[in-house]
Amino acid sequence: MAYYCSDCSYQGKVSGKSGACPACGSFNLTRRTTEGEDKPAPKKWRLVALCLLWSVLLLLIIGKLIN
């Protein structure tokens, strides 16, 4: 869990005493989750599907350019 101060743009993993910003002392801290904290890892089949779709697209484009 990360903290962000709206007043001084402090970003850190700790908050000050009683929820105050350790940098400026303001109480405008909000909790934010980091990107990889709550999201599960993407499925491997998605990468395979992406490569397959790009291959089909490239083949279609090459086919149009040849004809």
Q: Mind giving me the DSSP string for 1-67?
A: -EEEETTT--EES---GGG--TTT--S-EEEE--HHHHSPPPPHHHHHHHHHHHHHHHHHHHHHHH-
- The reported pTM is 0.45
Q: Comparing 64 with 29, which gets the higher pLDDT?
A: 64
- List, for residues 20-37, the tens digit of each pLDDT value: 888 888 888 888 765 555
Residues 3-22 pLDDT 10s: 888 889 888 888 877 888 88
pLDDT digits (tens, 9 = 90+) for 41-54: 788 999 999 999 99
